[in-house]
Amino acid sequence: GAVVSQHPSWVICKSGTSVKIECRSLDFQATTMFWYRQFPKQSLMLMATSNEGSKATYEQGVEKDKFLINHASLTLSTLTVTSAHPEDSSFYICSAAGGNNSPLHFGNGTRLTVT
């Protein structure tokens, strides 16, 4: 079946540094990928919708300059957390759709810890 690969699965970084998270659709082309943030014991919070070849659409309250999203190909979207701070520590997860009426496939998520 369709697989979405997300890397890294976990990362620890120091305050002020940037972290890039990759989301790849391994066996299908994804024109749209979604990036979520998850707080402990809470549901997913959609951060942005990544569209191949165009700018991402950010949800209200999400800083686009802090969370840079690039969707340069039909199989890869990246989320870069710039100048990370401890409050950015969270679980980030992507998902991708393979086409019309296709189930949404999620990556396994990235746990980011900023020290």
Partner 1 sequence: GENVEQHPSTLSVQEGDSAVIKCTYSDSASNYFPWYKQELGKRPQLIIDIRSNVGEKKDQRIAVTLNKTAKHFSLHITETQPEDSAVYFCAANFGNQFYFGTGTSLTVIP
Query: Under rule CB under 8 A, how many of the chain's residues touch partner 1?
Result: 21
How deeply is 14 buried, as exposed, middle or buried, from its count of CB atoms within 10 A (0-12, 13-18, 19+)?
A: exposed
Under the criterion CB under 8 A, does residue 5 sit at the interface with partner 1? no
Residues 6+ apart with CB under 8 A from 18: 80, 81, 82, 83, 84
* Residue span binding partner 1 (CB under 8 A) among the ranges 9-17, 62-70, 73-81, 100-108: 100-108
Residues that bind partner 1 (CB under 8 A): 1, 32, 34, 38, 40-41, 43-44, 46, 49, 91, 95, 97, 100-106, 109
